[in-house]
Amino acid sequence: MSDFANRLIAWQKIHGRHDLPWQNTVDPYAIWVSEIMLQQTQVAAVIGYYSKFMQRFPNIASLANATQDEVLQHWSGLGYYSRARNLHNAAVTIMDEHKGQFPQDFEMIQTLSGIGRSTAAAIASFAFNQVQTILDGNVKRVLARHFLVEGWPSSPKVEKELWLLAEKLLPEQGMVAYTQGLMDLGATLCTRSKPKCSNCPLNGSCKALQAQRVHELPTPKPRKSIPEKHTTMLILRRGDEILLEKRPSTGIWGGLWSFPEAENSQDAEAIALKKFGVTAENDITLPNLTHVFTHFKLHICPQTLQVVKLNPQVNQAAHMWLNIEDAIGAAIPTPIRKILLSMQKTSLGY
């Protein structure tokens, strides 16, 4: 076993995290759900969602048998909704093709929707004690600093170098403590900012620390200007109810419920009549809202419309009328929930 692995395992057993809700189990389903939630999301944000999600979907069968809409509802607010859709699709696959048993074969795990090499390795390590290496964002940061690896870690060339490094460091025993140790070290000591190098079990051999370059590594992603998009969201009000429209299954907020959209507020009444067959009048304009995605900023102009005349054609599968309280609890994106909550606090919420 390498000295790197030895010290990391010893440190994890004493100083690592041992009481997270998804730890102290070998249930591949519980581990799988946590790993998917932890993609792109901090532990503190995941804990509450994980517990509620597991209460509603305690096993693969319950997840597979649920509707995608219900799964998205329990994911609402956690972001990156393709993760929830992939989780649901994979559960259906496991029921249909693996007799409801999570596959143990490492290559087979990677064929499931939403599971890449690193996530598959984490599941295989924690659930099946397999010797597989992970390489998530935390691990990339630890390895880039410890071995002074230059370049943006997610570029193909640098990522390949990091995978080779990670494979060489694998211990033959103690995989659970080693894998958890890598995650814990990156999350608690070798952090992106203000790393606690004096407490690190690997500080004696860390090349970035020796070269006084810890804060330079890993090399940041080359900066590009973030595109900005604008949309007007139509808030059609009928009494104490508002209209929600189901978004396409792909794209941002795929499969979630949202407000209908228009290019600008001047088109609002015309679109309400043409698309939904309702006659509506402009109502109070709410404050604009900006939502930042990974790759762009979305500027939202909420336009409230009071429905004067309703055509029955609006009662379609892709549309529904809900009171504000029920709408807030539906499978909706975070900015839509913010708008509804602001309406609830004003006279618009009745």
Query: Which residues, listed in sequence order, are joined to residue 289 by a DSSP beta bridge?
Result: 300
Q: Using an 8 Å Cβ cutoff, are 174 and 9 in contact?
A: yes
The dihedral built from the CA positions of residue 10, 16, 19 and 22, taken in this order, carries a sign that is negative
The string of DSSP codes covering 171-233 is -SS-HHHHHHHHHHIIIIIS-SSS--GGG-TTTTT-HHHHTT-GGG-SPPPPP-PPPEEEEEE
Give yes or no for a cis peptide into 218 (omega within 30° of 0). yes
Who's near 74: CB < 8 A, 6+ residues apart?
49, 52, 53, 56, 57
* Total Cβ atoms within 10 A of residue 182: 27
Please name every residue paired with 242 in a beta bridge, in sequence order, or none if there are none: 237, 322
Based on the residue annotation, tell me whether 35 is a catalytic residue of this protein.
Answer: yes
35, 161, 245, 269: the catalytic one is 35
**Catalytic sites, residue numbers:** 35
